[in-house]
Structure 1
Amino acid sequence: MVTVSLTGASKEDAATVFDVLRTAFPIDRPSDAVPQEQPGDHPAVWTAEFEPTRERIPTGPTPLEGSLTATLQGGYVAVDQVGEALRAAFAVHEEGTASGDQEKEVDLRLGTKRS
């Protein structure tokens, strides 16, 4: 299981990233779930959990309105699989990694892939 948290993203970009991952892997929410904004003036954090499988459905480049930060948390292999799915759809820059005995956390900057 990998927890994906998105920050600095519009509701539309969060939905785009989660749609790509939902295509590639099962998700903890129904397929028609859409990110919802909460009232207030605090920054939004969009979160979903994915269960990566060895046989993911490939996705192609997908445009975003802006750039955003994605934090992936989970087991080593699972985080790597989710990262690969994101790299197939977006321009990805790794900003940091923290490793533990059983899990790792990776911070990625996502943007639109340029051809």
Structure 2
Amino acid sequence: MATVSLTGASKKDATAVFDVLRTAFPTDRSSHDIPQEQPGDNSPVWSAEFEPAREPIPTDSVPLEGAVSATLQGAYVAVDQLFEALSAAFAVDHWGAASGDQEKEVDLRLTTKR
């Protein structure tokens, strides 16, 4: 199991990222559970949990309106599989990582593939 948190994204872009992951892996969110904007001046953070499968479903490139910051956190294998799925659909810049005994966290910047 791994958690994906998205920041700095429009509602449309957050939905696009979660749709890619939902297509490839089981999640704790239904397909009808899409990101919702909240009133106020605070930047939204959207998150969902995914259970990467042994054989992820390949994904196609998906356009984004802007850059999306994504944090992947969980078991090493799960985070690596989520990273691979995101790399297939988006251009990915690796901003940093932190590793522990049984979990790791990876910070990414997602944009449209050119």
Amino acid at match of 1:63: P
TM-score (norm 2): 0.98
Amino acid at match of 2:53: T
Amino acid at match of 1:62: V
Give the superposed CA RMSD: 0.6
User: Where in structure 2 are the equivalents of 1:1-80 lying within 5 Å?
Assistant: 1-80=1-80
Quote the Cα distance in structure 2 between the aligned partners of 1:31 and 1:11: 15
Amino acid at match of 1:27: T
Q: Which runs of 4+ in 1 moved over 4 A?
A: none
TM-score (norm 1): 0.97
The answer on 1:100 being equivalent to 2:96 is no
Amino acid at match of 1:8: G
Amino acid at match of 1:50: F
- Percent identity (aligned): 74
- Deviation (angstroms), 1:55: 1.4
**Residue in structure 2 matched with residue 110 of structure 1 by the alignment:** 110
Gaps of 5+ in 2: none
Quote the Cα distance in structure 1 between the aligned partners of 2:68 and 2:41: 18
Gaps of 5+ in 1: none
Amino acid at match of 1:34: I
